Amino acid sequence: MVFLVLRCQAEWKKAEYAPMGSFSGVATLVADPVLVNAASRSSAVRAVFQLEGWRFQATLYGGSARRVAQHLAGESVYLTGERGEVSATQKHRRATQHIVGQLTNVQVASTWSDGSAFTRATNRIRRLLATGASRLPANEAALFLGLVIGDDRNQPREMINAFRDSGLSHLTAVSGQNIAFVLAAAAPLLTRMRPRARLVATLFVLAWFTVLTRAEPSVLRAAAMAAISVLCFTAGWQVKSLAVLALCVAGLVVIDPMLMWQVGFWMSSGATAGLIVLMKPLQRFFQSCHVPGLIAQPLATTTAAQIGTALPMYMAFGRVSPIGLITNLFAVPIAGVVMLVGLPVCLVAGMMSAGLGDMVMLPMRFGVRWVWWVAVIGQRCAKLMA
């Protein structure tokens, strides 16, 4: 505990030691750039760069914005700019993201480095997914990428609010469900390997998917739990799921104390705890109330997850959406299908011509629209209940 407190203090004070002033040198994108005010002619690009080990956020305009917008996390460029402190209103929030300052007057060169082989391979997949998703209308494409890899950068505010108000915002945050689907897709190859080779391959798949989804707090939790479970299974150890969750949360918080201020991390951890502790008792309760088994299991799963996320949701957003118990029953099964088959289908569509790609992505279009309709209807019902 003392070590954790000291780690937290060190992270909070980190910005005090960050170098400020003029900078010229190589900078690496930490996250994928985000287009700001896309509908406006004066659209800008917001990006986070790593300069000599320190993270700075920059808002870019004009030619620099256009050059940065087409690149992804892990790619590097030579730039010049002025390093300054983050505004007082944003300081706490940026500190939780390890951002120590603001970069202004940025001039970006036109020549970029694509990064390591692992970065190049991962970004190649993301670009191929973006190409495949572009076969869908813009809003459906944004939601599809959110469901499959947690990329919600292009989702309109109306869509974000609809999913939040209807209790479905967890669908666009990559978590254990996505990890399970990726491992299920890789299972035909993994099951043919010897135990040690299977362990290494499984850990590689988990690491690859974590990087592909940009190591969001929810996917970090899910991937860490999966890695611990695989290691215990290979070693022949019997470990309870709740112990794995506790070890995972404790380990990640020690490694990165700022995760304690990430809503996605606590939502993911709370939902998992709810599923582990409450799902089976709730399923037995619903069955004792003569609820059909086809409904009892998904209802128990939804209720357990909603109870687990109630506290962090209330603390973060000031409200809990009871309509989520119903909307999840209708949205999760279809969203699960999109998550399971969406990744390979989208990759195939990205390698095809526009016409063929449109046909391949047509089932995904129906699935994504169904989930969106459920969110919109749920939002309207939630407003009527308020």
What confidence tens digit (pLDDT) does each residue in 259-273 have? Answer: 888 888 888 899 899
CATH 2.40.50.140 in the chain, residues? 2-115
Helices 157-165, 138-149: inter-axial angle, 10-degree rounding = 50
Q: What are the tens digits of pLDDT across the range 226-245?
A: 999 999 988 888 889 999 99
- pLDDT of the residue at 227: 93
For residues 298 and 335, what is the distance between their CA atoms, to the nearest angstrom? Answer: 13
Bigger pLDDT: 86 or 372? 372
Confidence band (pLDDT; 50, 70, 90) for 153?
A: confident
- Apex 361 CA angle, 369 and 349, nearest 5: 145
For residues 25 and 38, what is the distance between their CA atoms, to the nearest angstrom? Answer: 29
Question: Is the C-alpha dihedral spanning 51, 55, 56, 62 positive or negative?
Answer: positive
- pLDDT at 38 > cutoff 80: no
pLDDT > 70 in the chain, percent: 96
The β-bridge partners of 58 are: 47, 103
For the chain, the residue count is 386
Q: What are the tens digits of pLDDT across the range 124-142?
A: 999 999 999 999 999 999 9
For residues 130 and 117, what is the distance between their CA atoms, to the nearest angstrom? Answer: 20
- pLDDT of the residue at 188: 86
Residue 128 main-chain phi, psi, to 5 deg? -65, -40
Global confidence as pTM: 0.86
State the DSSP H helix or E strand holding residue 376, giving kind and residue range, or none if neither: helix 362-385
For residues 128 and 26, what is the distance between their CA atoms, to the nearest angstrom? Answer: 27
- pLDDT at 47 > cutoff 90: yes
For residues 253 and 229, what is the distance between their CA atoms, to the nearest angstrom? Answer: 18
- pLDDT at 364 > cutoff 70: yes
Find the mean pLDDT for residues 210-225.
Answer: 89
State the DSSP H helix or E strand holding residue 108, giving kind and residue range, or none if neither: strand 99-113
For residues 67 and 351, what is the distance between their CA atoms, to the nearest angstrom? Answer: 24
Find the mean pLDDT for residues 204-220.
Answer: 89
Residue 168: name the closest of 343, 373, 318, 316 by CA. Answer: 373
- Alpha carbon 52 to its chain centroid, in Å, reads 26
| Most confident of the following: 68-82, 152-166, 298-312 | 68-82
- pLDDT at 41 > cutoff 80: no
For residues 338 and 348, what is the distance between their CA atoms, to the nearest angstrom? Answer: 14
Contacts of 363 (CB under 8 A, 6+ apart): 345
Task: Quickly tell me which residue has 């357990």 as its tokens.
Answer: 304
| 2-115 to CATH, choices 2.40.50.140, 3.40.50.2300, 2.60.120.620, 3.40.50.300 | 2.40.50.140
User: How far apart are the two ends of the chain, measured CA to CA in Å?
Assistant: 41
Q: What are the tens digits of pLDDT across the range 65-82?
A: 888 999 999 999 999 999
